[in-house]
């Protein structure tokens, strides 16, 4: 299930960024005692009482201002409100209730989203003298906090997580393969989906950024069920100019979190770029199965080794995604497109594969005989036992005598031996090393 999105909104200079930093646990947003410093939305992952969520900091809302910067900040905040699951409406306990607060409250009510009314800058044990004025807003009981001193933050977070959907409820059936189409704008993500579906279910144009939201499209192929999640393209931050497109980045990241399999679409004309590497890294860090799809291959002039050279370049640039298969296709002509669906099904199964403990230990034991574990200062690494803890991604626990002796290269060797025997094509593999001094195999 995708992590809930919590947006912090309010008029300028009420302490939104300070609260954001306090919850995030580190200084992310720029904090200055001057209105309008936060002009873009900052976002980070946060956690409270085992609830993980995405937290967004927005620029201050000035409802009536027509100046360019305040108007853009207001639009960004509106976009955050539109997509958030919970809205934290922050006000100033020193200034009390002002006209802008009332106007913002009216805007928030129309969203029909859960609203947590927060009165900030209450830096003493005494309540704000203006506390009861905020009841006039009619959006719930105000919670007093001091973002600067960290007072009342726990109570605020308790109230926020109350509005999260139950973790016991799954979004889709486990048998449905959820596929996120990720990549930069205008590389052909929507065209690929339309070609697979055989109908125009997603708007396609050659204008970068056409797909604003993550769009879910169910699809059935025989007995196999899929949900394709077409996301807005992710651009480098310096090139994100439209307010709508800025927020599409967060939606794309949320789509990856919901997915089982990610299709990273690369433009064959541009080749692998820094942004492609960042997007692939997000899939890898989230433990998702990954397929690299090189689109527009039909318009590339070929020589004898063109495909091999392109493959080598991708492998060099995305070395950490060595497990990901690479497909060269054309969404326009349909070249090799049927292989995409076959590969999705394959890597989804590999992503969810579980290895019997006995068989796993045979492979690990054989690997140790073929290549002796490393030693340091007369002490040699021993792997007593191995077991698979979870799937999606496949996660293995190695019980060893000393974590310091488990060198990265030897762990990669063990991983390669496992892959040679079981495949795990398209999926990252996670290892957890646990010390068990004196243990026996």
- Judge whether 254 lies within some domain: yes
Q: What does each of the 441 residues of the chain score in pLDDT, given as a tens digit? A: 567 889 898 888 898 888 988 888 755 444 444 443 333 446 677 888 888 888 888 766 766 655 554 555 566 667 667 778 899 999 999 999 998 899 888 888 888 899 999 999 998 888 888 889 999 998 889 999 999 898 999 999 999 999 987 754 444 456 889 999 988 888 888 888 888 877 554 444 444 444 444 567 788 888 888 888 877 544 444 444 444 444 445 666 777 888 999 999 999 999 998 888 888 888 999 999 999 999 999 988 888 889 999 999 999 999 999 999 999 999 888 889 889 999 999 999 999 999 999 999 999 999 999 999 998 888 999 999 999 999 999 999 999 999 999 999 999 999 999 999 999 999 999 999 999 765 544
Amino acid 157: pLDDT = 93
Residue 361 and residue 344 share a domain? no
pLDDT value at residue 167: 56
Taking each helix axis from N to C end, the angle separating 68-83 and 243-258, rounded to the nearest 10 degrees, works out to: 20
* Percentage of the chain modeled with pLDDT above 70: 79
Q: What is the 3-state secondary structure (H, E, C) of 2-67?
A: CCCEEEEECCCCCCHHHHHHHHHCCCCCCCCCCCCCCCCCEEEEEEECCEEEEEEECCCCCCCCCC
User: Do both 90 and 152 map to the same domain?
Assistant: yes
Ranges of beta strands (E only) in 109-253 are 115-120, 143-144, 177-182, 215-221, 224-230
167 located within any domain: no
> Looking at residue 220, what is its pLDDT?
84
Angle between helices 274-285 and 243-258 (to 10 degrees): 40
Question: What is the distance between the alpha carbons of residues 243 and 94, in angstroms, rounded to a whole number?
Answer: 32
Tell me the pLDDT tens digit for each residue of 248-259: 456 667 778 889
Same domain for 29 and 90, yes or no, is: yes
CATH code, 88: 3.40.50.300
Task: Flag whether 243 is in a domain.
Answer: yes
Q: Is residue 169 situated within a structural domain?
A: no
Q: Are 290 and 261 in contact (CB under 8 A)?
A: yes
- 365's tokens: 């034991």
Domain presence at residue 82:
yes
pLDDT at site 1: 57
By residue range, what is the domain housing residue 131? Answer: 5-162
Q: Considering the chain, what percentage of its residues have pLDDT values greater than 90? A: 42
Output the pLDDT for position 75. 64
Domain boundary among 137, 162, 187: 162
0.75 surpassed by pTM: no
Q: Does the residue 310 lie in any domain?
A: yes
pLDDT at 232: 56
Q: Residue 24's Cα: distance from chain center in Å?
A: 16
Count of the separate structural domains present in the chain = 3
CATH of the domain at 384: 3.30.300.20
């Amino acid at each position: 299930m995708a992590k809930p999105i919590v947006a912090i909104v309010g008029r300028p200079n009420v302490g939104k960024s300070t609260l954001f930093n306090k919850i995030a646990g580190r200084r992310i947003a720029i904090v200055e005692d001057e209105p309008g410093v936060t002009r873009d939305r900052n976002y980070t992952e946060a956690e409270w009482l085992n609830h993980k969520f995405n937290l967004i900091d927005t620029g201050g809302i000035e409802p009536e201002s027509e100046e360019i910067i305040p108007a853009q900040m207001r639009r960004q905040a509106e976009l955050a409100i539109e997509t958030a699951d919970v809205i934290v409406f922050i006000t100033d306990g020193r200034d009390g209730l002002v006209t802008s607060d009332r106007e913002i409250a009216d805007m928030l009510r129309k969203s029909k989203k859960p609203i947590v009314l927060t009165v900030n800058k209450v830096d003493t044990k005494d309540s704000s003298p203006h506390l009861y004025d905020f009841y006039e807003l009619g959006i719930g009981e105000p919670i007093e906090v001091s973002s600067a001193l960290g007072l009342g933050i726990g109570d605020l977070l308790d109230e926020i997580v109350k509005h999260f959907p139950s973790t016991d409820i799954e979004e889709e059936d486990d048998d449905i393969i959820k596929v996120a189409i990720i990549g930069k704008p205008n590389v052909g993500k929507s065209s690929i989906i339309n070609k697979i579906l055989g109908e125009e279910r997603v708007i396609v144009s050659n204008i970068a950024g056409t797909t604003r939201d993550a769009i879910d499209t169910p699809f059935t192929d025989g007995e196999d069920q899929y949900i394709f999640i077409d996301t807005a393209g992710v651009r480098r931050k310096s090139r994100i100019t439209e307010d709508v497109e800025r927020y599409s980045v967060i939606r794309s990241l949320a789509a990856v979190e919901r997915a089982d399999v990610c299709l990273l679409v690369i433009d064959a004309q541009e080749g692998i770029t820094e942004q492609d590497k960042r997007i692939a890294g997000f899939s890898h860090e989230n433990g998702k199965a990954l397929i690299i799809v090189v689109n527009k291959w039909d318009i590339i002039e070929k020589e004898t080794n063109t495909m091999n050279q392109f493959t080598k370049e991708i492998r060099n640039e995305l070395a950490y995604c060595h497990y990901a298969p690479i497909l060269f296709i054309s969404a326009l002509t349909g070249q090799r497109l049927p292989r995409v669906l076959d590969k999705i099904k394959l890597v989804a199964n590999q992503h969810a594969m579980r290895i019997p403990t006995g068989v796993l230990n045979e492979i690990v034991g054989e690997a140790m005989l073929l290549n002796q574990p490393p030693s340091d200062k007369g002490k040699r690494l021993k792997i007593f036992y191995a077991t698979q803890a979870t799937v999606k991604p496949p996660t293995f626990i190695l019980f060893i005598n000393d974590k310091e002796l488990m060198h990265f290269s030897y762990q990669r060797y063990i991983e390669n031996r496992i892959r040679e025997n079981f495949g795990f094509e398209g999926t990252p593999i996670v290892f957890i090393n646990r010390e068990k001094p004196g243990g026996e195999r």
